[in-house]
Amino acid sequence: MDLAVDALTTGDIDDAVRIHLEAFPNFFLTFLGPRFLREFYGSFTWDPMGVGFVAKDPASNCLLGVVVGPTNPEGYFRRLLKKRWWAFCIAAAGAVVRHPGLIPRLARAVFFRGNPPADMPRALLCSIAVSPQAQGRGIGEALMQAWVKEVQSRGTRGCFLTTDAHDNDKVNRFYQRLGWRLESTFVTPEGRLMNRYTFDLPAGEIR
């Protein structure tokens, strides 16, 4: 399948949010709503540590997938909190009003650092979403390769991500097939069992 993989721009945000909602209908960020997701994806277009790519059909220019993640998750989320806290609060207000019990989880999300491994600083792959209608065509792999290549070009020696351990076999096999190593498993405060994967490349080796 022909693909055009390019850096995420502000003009891609609405389509990126649409694909996120389609790909992750029951996830926490989705529940917070499109406005929150626009802030989330938009941050990767203006923050210097943000790295985002989109895959499009060259013929129709239709967006088929998106991947985002910062080169330094701790510094990245700290800056978001400092610069755009009011925007994220307003964006999440509707969900909080409907379900006040979300407040503790939202607070943890605001101070999220990605649960990084302790071995060395790593870039965090936050989200990769492919339109359900376009899955199985190599789009996710193309997006992952573009993201890894870019964070490596910025001098990052390693990457990591977290994903559900249960009822998520297809996704776990996808990361393993691309060479990501299962580094550890942990339980979130909500009781979700999570797998943490790492990916290493020596400095200067980009593939």
Lowest mean pLDDT among 29-38, 113-122, 164-173: 113-122
| Residue 54 buriedness (CB in 10 A; 0-12 / 13-18 / 19+) | buried
Q: DSSP letter at 201?
A: -
Residue with tokens 């059909």: 57
Cα–Cα dist 172/56, whole Å: 24
Specify the pLDDT at position 201: 76
pTM (predicted TM-score)? 0.84
Task: Give the rounded percent of residues in the chain with a pLDDT score beyond 90.
Answer: 59
pLDDT tens for 84-129 read 544 555 555 555 456 555 545 555 555 555 577 877 889 999 999 9
154-163 mean pLDDT: 93
Long-range contacts of 139-142 (CB under 8 A, 24+ apart): 139/1, 139/3, 139/55, 139/64, 139/65, 140/65, 140/174, 141/174, 141/178, 142/3, 142/5, 142/55
Q: What is the CATH number of domain 4-200?
A: 3.40.630.30
pLDDT tens for 120-155 read 889 999 999 999 999 989 999 999 999 999 999 999
Cα–Cα dist 21/33, whole Å: 9
The two structure tokens encoding residue 82: 């400092």
- The contacts of residue 33 (CB under 8 Å, 6+ apart) are 91, 92, 94, 95
Cα–Cα dist 5/27, whole Å: 26
For the chain, the domains span 4-200
Residue with tokens 């390769």: 145
Specify the pLDDT at position 206: 45
Cα–Cα dist 32/42, whole Å: 15
Specify the pLDDT at position 84: 59
Specify the pLDDT at position 68: 97
Q: Which residue has the higher pLDDT, 24 or 190?
A: 24
Residue with tokens 């945000």: 13
Q: DSSP letter at 12?
A: G
Specify the pLDDT at position 112: 56
Specify the pLDDT at position 192: 86
